[in-house]
């Protein structure tokens, strides 16, 4: 009977595979136990699996764990087999047919394992385009899984092939060596730069390597450095990528086809297993971040050119790169098709039914966002009414403190649970306390990027340069905002909208920050007068509201933020709050940030800030949606030193 409580604990902790394995062992001796019988439906489900043709061996192993053994599920067709809940990698093998990989989500055509049927097509080896995998998305939702693009035209997709890996240096060299830059038949798109048409000869002068020869930007005399055969090709424009695709008998994927294959709805699994925050671009397939259909590196490594156009002649480039924040896997970006960046590559698709693609897929998709230059903040009278919705009764906190068991020379971590400012809920904050400084500590309240809405487990390592803030001798309070990490409630997007659900969440997020400050004021080891707000991306956008409501904040650092393009109800619309932010504010941004462009979101945010002119600062870096780490650390600490004073 000891096993049953342990199974329940495993389930509560999200350790579904451990719960299932222990339940299978327990069933052999206590098969009639009523408590175990009640646990089976929550840790497992029934599924029927067929392949076309039948007779394939089906295997399953834990997602993101290369050392996990493949477990034989059986041979197709399988009828009502019991399987553990959770996400796994599934493998289908039949002699003479290509091996097929799927994640649980793709296999069962739903976003969570549930009773149903899976039907997997198998292709004879000789009929599979080399290096490609089949995407079979017919029963998926027809929408784009890109924040803010949910209202774009829906599109049903038929099966298609997509490169399993990004195009490599070795593959692209075949294009160069076979005269790809000299054969006009591969260059089918009109060259347009800054609104002007370019001739063939004019355009070709822009596609040269470091030695002035045709080729990717950082190659030399049509060749790349030795030992980099399997590194994704980078430094190529959209035009060069499209020409290679023609050469290979393929196409660049439309935004719909790329987005459907990437599986952004699985970001909480794919992103941690992908190349984000590493030391550079890696050989293709080095990481275990596999997409639903067996692709690799669609998250991180290099971001990828897409066929689809955006506004002003730009082309979409998706997936995020190794040197960008993790949420760029799902967030949109678009750049000049002539850009030849060191963190941009591409992969190709091959359409099984080219006639089914249609205009919806190939037409440009301008960013669906409002013109902020025409928006005006609310009057003082209206603002007072809007601000009142953030008030709450200061009920007793009833806090509990749990020391988190994590060895680190620089800080200790505590998990704090206390009464929330709304409903009958328990709020959570993690506090990082410096070991090499003396209390009372200056305190920084952090608001994270949107990836927090997708992850269900809190990371104990402070990201977004929070480690540098702690090392400077300051404490960091990291509230678990409603809908994030272990407080997930189905909210998965930070894109504003006019629903009551969005309004209610914004109000709860602001109250979560305020309630964390309430708790901080009970701690003698924290300096209650020296409090700063640090917002990163989503948190930076929220930096228009939180400091406007929470006057206990003395200074703010906002990295990678701007005003929301999307309209929301007036009581939570950032346009009505930003001018009421009176504290000193430092803004740090990238010049090529498509999510928060300079002219349309960053500059209006900075201009409308209510801070004194000599107490607000906007620094723009030659980056996209990322800031060089050393600059982020330097400027943040300098700002905190200036307005909170040096740390103890």
pLDDT in tens, 419-428: 999 999 999 9
Domain 380-644 belongs in CATH node 3.40.50.1820:
yes
Domain limits of the chain? 3-128, 163-362, 380-644
Range with lowest mean pLDDT among 349-363, 551-565, 575-589: 349-363
CA distances to 3, 9, 10, 45 from 6, in Å: 5, 5, 6, 20
**Alpha-helix runs per DSSP H in 13-130:** 16-30, 34-43, 104-108
**Radius of gyration over every alpha carbon of the chain, rounded to an integer in angstroms:** 26
Six token digits for residue 376: 């005006």
Angle at 305 between CA 301 and CA 308, to 5 degrees: 145
Q: Is the pLDDT of residue 153 over 90?
A: no
* Lowest mean pLDDT segment, chosen from 10-19, 206-215, 284-293, 393-402: 10-19
Query: Among residues 364, 258, 353, 344, which one has the least CA distance to residue 304?
Result: 344
* Cα 444 off chain centre by: 24
The answer on pLDDT for 251 being more than 50 is yes
Among the residue ranges 11-25, 40-54, 423-437, 467-481, the one predicted with the least confidence is 11-25
Report whether pLDDT(1) > 60. no
Three-class SS state of 644 = helix
- Tokens 């404490």 — which residue? 475
Distance, in Å, from the CA atom of 118 to the CA atom of 81, rounded to the nearest integer, reads: 12
**β-sheet bridge partners, residue 46:** 82
| Stretch among 29-43, 330-344, 345-359, 629-643 having the lowest mean pLDDT | 29-43
- Strand-by-strand arrangement of the 334-335 sheet: 334-335, 315-318, 303-309, 344-345
pTM of the predicted protein model: 0.69
| 527 dihedral zone (left: phi>0; alpha: psi -120 to 50; beta) | beta
- Angle at which helices 3-12 and 34-43 pack, to 10 degrees? 30
Q: Report pLDDT for 475.
A: 98
* b/e sequence 75-86, b meaning 16+ C-beta within 10 Å: ebebeeeebbbb
Among the listed residues 509, 515, 517, the one whose alpha carbon sits nearest the alpha carbon of residue 489 = 509
Least confident piece of the model among 109-123, 179-193, 487-501, 558-572: 109-123
Q: Is the peptide bond before 440 cis (omega within 30 degrees of 0)?
A: yes
As a whole number, mean pLDDT of residues 357-377 equals 85
What are the tokens at 214?
Answer: 């045709």
What pLDDT sits at residue 114? 46
Query: SS3 for 258?
Result: helix
- Can you list the positions of beta strands (E) in 53-115? 57-62, 71-75, 78-84, 88-93, 100-103
Task: Estimate the crossing angle of helix 16-30 against helix 34-43, to 10 degrees.
Answer: 150
Quote the pLDDT of residue 594: 59
Q: Considering the chain, what percentage of its residues have pLDDT values greater than 70?
A: 96
Among 229-243, 331-345, 625-639, which stretch is predicted with the lowest mean pLDDT?
Answer: 625-639
Q: pLDDT by residue (tens digit) across 381-425? A: 999 999 999 999 999 999 999 999 776 778 999 999 999 999 999
Q: How far apart (Å, rounded) are the C-alpha atoms in residues 400 and 522? A: 12
Closest CA to 558 of 530, 587, 583: 587
Least confident piece of the model among 100-114, 157-171, 337-351, 361-375: 100-114
CA distance 157 to 152: 15
Spatial neighbors of 625 by CB under 8 A, at least 6 apart, are 324, 325, 328, 331, 333, 537, 560, 590, 593, 594, 595, 596
Q: Confirm whether 163-362 and 380-644 share one CATH topology.
A: no
Comparing CA positions, the residue from 89, 87, 97, 84 lying closest to residue 56 is 97
Fold of 163-362: 3.90.1580
Q: How far is CA 318 from the centre of its chain?
A: 11
| Phi/psi of residue 230, nearest 5 degrees | -100, 10
């Amino acid at each position: 009977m000891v096993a049953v409580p342990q199974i329940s604990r495993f389930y509560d902790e999200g350790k579904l595979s451990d719960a299932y394995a222990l339940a299978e062992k327990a069933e052999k001796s206590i098969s009639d136990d009523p408590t175990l019988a009640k646990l089976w439906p929550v840790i497992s489900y029934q599924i029927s699996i067929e392949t076309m043709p039948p007779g394939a061996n089906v295997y399953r192993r834990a997602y993101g764990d290369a050392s996990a053994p493949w477990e034989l599920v059986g041979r197709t067709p399988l009828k009502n087999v019991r399987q553990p809940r959770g996400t796994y990698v599934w493998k289908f093998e039949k002699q003479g047919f290509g091996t097929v990989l799927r994640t649980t989500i793709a296999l069962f055509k739903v976003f969570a394992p549930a009773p149903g049927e899976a039907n997997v097509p198998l292709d004879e080896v000789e009929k599979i385009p080399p290096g490609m995998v089949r995407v079979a998305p017919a029963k998926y939702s027809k929408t784009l899984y890109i924040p803010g693009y949910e209202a774009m035209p829906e599109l049903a997709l038929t099966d298609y092939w997509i490169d399993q890996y990004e195009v490599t240096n070795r593959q692209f060299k075949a294009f160069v060596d076979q005269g790809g830059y000299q054969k006009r038949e591969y260059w089918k798109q009109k060259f347009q730069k800054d609104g002007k048409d370019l001739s063939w000869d004019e355009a070709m002068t822009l596609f040269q390597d470091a030695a002035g020869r045709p080729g990717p930007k950082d190659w030399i005399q049509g060749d790349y450095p030795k030992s980099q055969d399997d590194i994704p090709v980078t430094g190529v424009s959209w035009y060069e990528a499209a020409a290679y695709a023609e050469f290979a008998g393929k196409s660049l994927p439309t935004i719909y086809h790329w987005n459907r294959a990437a599986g952004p709805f699985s970001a909480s699994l794919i992103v941690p297993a992908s190349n984000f925050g590493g030391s550079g671009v890696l050989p293709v397939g080095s990481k275990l971040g596999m997409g639903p259909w067996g692709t690799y590196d669609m998250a991180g490594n290099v971001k990828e050119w897409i066929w689809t156009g955006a506004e002003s002649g730009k082309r979409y480039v998706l997936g995020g790169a190794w040197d960008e924040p993790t949420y760029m896997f799902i967030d949109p970006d678009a750049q000049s098709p002539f850009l030849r960046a060191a963190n941009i590559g591409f992969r190709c698709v091959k359409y099984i039914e080219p006639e089914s693609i249609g205009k919806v897929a190939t037409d440009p998709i301008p960013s669906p966002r409002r013109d902020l230059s025409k928006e005006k903040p609310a009057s003082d009278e209206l603002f007072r009414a809007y601000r009142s919705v953030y008030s709450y009764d200061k009920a007793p906190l009833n806090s509990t403190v749990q020391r988190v068991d994590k060895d680190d020379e620089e800080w200790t971590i505590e998990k704090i649970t206390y009464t929330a400012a709304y409903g009958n809920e328990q709020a959570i904050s993690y506090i990082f306390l410096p070991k090499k400084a003396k209390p009372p500590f200056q305190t920084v309240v952090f608001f994270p990027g949107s990836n927090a809405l997708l992850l269900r487990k809190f990371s104990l390592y402070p990201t977004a340069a929070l480690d540098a803030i702690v090392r400077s001798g300051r404490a960091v309070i990291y509230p678990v905002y409603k809908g994030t990490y272990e407080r997930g409630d189905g909210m998965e997007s930070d894109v504003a909208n006019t629903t009551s659900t969005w309004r209610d969440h914004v109000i709860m997020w602001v109250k979560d920050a305020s309630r964390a400050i309430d708790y901080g004021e009970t701690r003698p080891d924290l300096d209650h007068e020296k409090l700063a707000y640090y917002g990163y991306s989503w948190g930076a956008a929220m930096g228009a509201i939180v400091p406007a409501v929470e006057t206990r904040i003395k200074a703010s650092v906002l990295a990678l933020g701007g005003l929301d393009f999307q309209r929301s109800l007036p009581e939570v619309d950032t346009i009505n709050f930003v001018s009421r932010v009176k504290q000193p504010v430092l803004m740090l941004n990238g010049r090529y940030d498509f999510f928060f462009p300079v002219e349309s979101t960053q500059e209006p945010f900075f201009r409308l800030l209510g801070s004194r002119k000599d107490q607000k600062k906007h620094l723009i870096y030659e980056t996209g949606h990322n800031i060089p780490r050393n600059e982020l650390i330097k400027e943040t600490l300098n700002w905190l030193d200036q307005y909170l004073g040096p740390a103890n």
